[in-house]
Amino acid sequence: MTREMNYALSFSDEQAMIMKAAREFCRKQSPITAVREWVETENGFDGKLWDKMVELGWLGAAIPEEFGGVGLEIGSVVSIAENMGRYMFSTPFFSITLVAQAILRAGTEAQKKSWLPKIADGTIATIALLDNEDWGNDDITCSTTEENGKLVLKGAKWFVTDAGVSEFFIVSTKYQNTPALVIVTREQLAEDACTRQTLIDETKRAFKVDFSGVRVEKSELLDPAASEATLRDLKLIGALLVAAEATGSAAAALDTIVDYLKNRKQFDKLIGSYQALKHPTVEVLNQTENSRSFVYHAATILGEAPLDTDMEIACRMAKAQATETLLFAGDRAVQFHGGMGFTYECDAQLYIRRAQWSQQQFGDAYHHRKRLAPLLLD
């Protein structure tokens, strides 16, 4: 027999309020014209809006009140992520959320007291997890050794989101033959350590960051006993946040398709009346609905504790479903706009680009299904 499936899904009035506020904020502050302007900027977002997000308490949403946050659970952050995806509103929100989770889950009391209030207050930080193109390799090549009582890092990290504006980093590294997480601050980096990568999703920012030669105190290590489990959990939470964002972006792609199908005429008929376009559009809707169900199921069961098997299943399913859905939605959005869809001017390009980016973040759909198989079949 397979595992008894968990079908828990609930949503509090408080979460509904947060969702409504997030939707309103993103809709007002991130119209598609603004998104296209931010694409042209170095950092990819508007610092004034970041300050507003600090005021709204979003950056400390999942940080306990004793550390200057709002004290919600990670599940409440999901609806903010979904609405950012819907309005293609890219900020370092995802980066700082994962940093906060890392410190909450594996940080020492001193680290929590030192860093969490700063994040809630708007300090930008990011997490450096990937050594190459392979999300499925748990053997970390970036290494740390001890020299004269200090830790010395060696190796570069790829796809470090928002590294260009980050004041500190949490780096996954191999130390004494086990995975470890180390805090590195900006001033400890060499001047030319960050190289911006040219991303397929132009609303995002990511960098290759070379940590070789960085020396930090041993007190910058997160709790070694909790690091391996936390690393695993961070990848799952990251996958969930990307899934939530992708669900919002798929809904936006669907809106773009529907709007065109309702207004564009060919052969004297609105093209939405053709079933060759209508039926795949319905499929985009159904897939998007499935994505949303997975995402909010995961949001329902995730808490502060280390992730259990049901939670792992929930995050992996959400990621596998949501980014496949967005791939389909983005692809059809381009095709159904005809010649217009082939142009940079048409918004469909934003979604098809986002889709290629999101599918790879924290592992693609096959990566997650492969890891679901033993949990569900054996």
Partner 1 sequence: MAEGQKDLQEFRAEVSAWMKANKPVATGFLLPQTFMEVGSEEQLDFLRKWQRKVYDAGYIGITWPEEYGGRGLPAVYQQIADQEMARHRVPIMFNVIGLGWAGPLILKDGTDAEKQKYLKRILTGEDIWCQGFSEPDHGSDLGNAQTSAVREGDEYIINGSKIWTTFGNYSKYMILLARTNSETERKYDGLSFFLSPMDVPGITATPIKKISGEYGFTETFFDNARIPVSCLMGEEGQGWRVAMQTLQFERSAEGGQATQYNSTRVTMDDLLLSLRNTHRDGQPLLEDPIVRDNLVKFLMEEKALGLSAARSQIPALCSDYPFAIPLSHKIRVTEFARRMRQYGISLQGAKGGLYVGDADAVEGGFWQRSYFNSFSSTIGGGTSQIQANIIGERVLGLPKS
Nearer to partner 1 by Cβ, of 221 and 261: the residue is 261
* Binding piece for partner 1, criterion CB under 8 A, among 119-127, 210-218, 293-301, 351-359: 293-301
**What does the alpha-carbon distance between residue 275 and residue 266 come to, in Å, rounded to a whole number?**
14
**Could you say whether residue 292 binds partner 1 (CB under 8 A)?**
yes
How far apart, in Å, are the Cα atoms of 19 and each of 78, 79, 84, 110, 209? Answer: 9, 5, 11, 33, 34
Min CB(180)–partner 1 separation in Å: 32
* Binding piece for partner 1, criterion CB under 8 A, among 69-77, 199-207, 256-264, 335-343: 256-264
**Could you say whether residue 270 binds partner 1 (CB under 8 A)?**
yes
Query: Among residues 289, 317, 280, which one has the least CA distance to residue 302?
Result: 317
DSSP lists the bridge partners of residue 143 as 154, 174
**Could you say whether residue 264 binds partner 1 (CB under 8 A)?**
no
Strands 143-147 and 168-175: parallel
Q: Is there a contact between 284 and 332 (Cβ–Cβ < 8 Å)? A: yes
Question: Residue 175 corresponds to which tokens in the numbers above?
Answer: 């130390």
Nearer to partner 1 by Cβ, of 141 and 366: the residue is 366
Nearer to partner 1 by Cβ, of 204 and 367: the residue is 367
* Binding piece for partner 1, criterion CB under 8 A, among 5-13, 128-136, 191-199, 201-209: 5-13
Min CB(374)–partner 1 separation in Å: 9
Nearer to partner 1 by Cβ, of 196 and 265: the residue is 265
How far apart, in Å, are the Cα atoms of 179 and each of 143, 151, 208? Answer: 9, 14, 20
Q: Is there a contact between 255 and 364 (Cβ–Cβ < 8 Å)? A: no
Q: Residue 250: helix, strand or coil by DSSP? A: helix
How far apart, in Å, are the Cα atoms of 109 and each of 23, 229, 242? Answer: 35, 18, 29
**Could you say whether residue 274 binds partner 1 (CB under 8 A)?**
yes
Min CB(373)–partner 1 separation in Å: 4
The alpha carbons of the chain give a radius of gyration, in whole angstroms, of 21
**Out of 175, 296, 336, 351, the residue judged to bind partner 1 by CB under 8 A:** 296
* Helices and strands: H and E segment counts in the chain: 12, 11
Q: Give the DSSP H or E segment for 351.
A: helix 348-360
Residues within window 55-74 making contact with partner 1, judged by CB under 8 A:
none
**Could you say whether residue 267 binds partner 1 (CB under 8 A)?**
no
Residues within window 318-357 making contact with partner 1, judged by CB under 8 A:
320-321
**Out of 69, 75, 107, 272, the residue judged to bind partner 1 by CB under 8 A:** 272
**Out of 29, 43, 290, 360, the residue judged to bind partner 1 by CB under 8 A:** 290
Q: Per-residue x/- marks for partner 1, 12-51, CB under 8 A? A: ---xx--xx-------------------------------
**Out of 9, 32, 200, 340, the residue judged to bind partner 1 by CB under 8 A:** 9
**Could you say whether residue 262 binds partner 1 (CB under 8 A)?**
yes
Q: Is there a contact between 171 and 141 (Cβ–Cβ < 8 Å)? A: no
**Which stretches within 264-337 are classed as H helix?**
275-301, 309-336
Residues within window 115-134 making contact with partner 1, judged by CB under 8 A:
none
> For residue 62, what are the contacts with CB-CB under 8 A and spacing of at least 6?
69, 70, 72, 73, 74, 76, 77, 97, 100, 101, 104
**Could you say whether residue 282 binds partner 1 (CB under 8 A)?**
yes
Q: Residue 236: helix, strand or coil by DSSP? A: helix
Number of residues that bind partner 1 (CB under 8 A): 47
How far apart, in Å, are the Cα atoms of 221 and each of 68, 146, 300, 312? Answer: 22, 12, 31, 26
Nearer to partner 1 by Cβ, of 154 and 278: the residue is 278
Nearer to partner 1 by Cβ, of 218 and 269: the residue is 269
Nearer to partner 1 by Cβ, of 123 and 360: the residue is 360
Q: What are the residues binding partner 1 (CB under 8 A)?
A: 1-2, 5, 7-11, 15-16, 19-20, 251, 258, 261-262, 269-270, 272-275, 278-279, 281-283, 285-286, 289-290, 292-294, 296-297, 317, 320-321, 366, 369-370, 372-373, 376-378
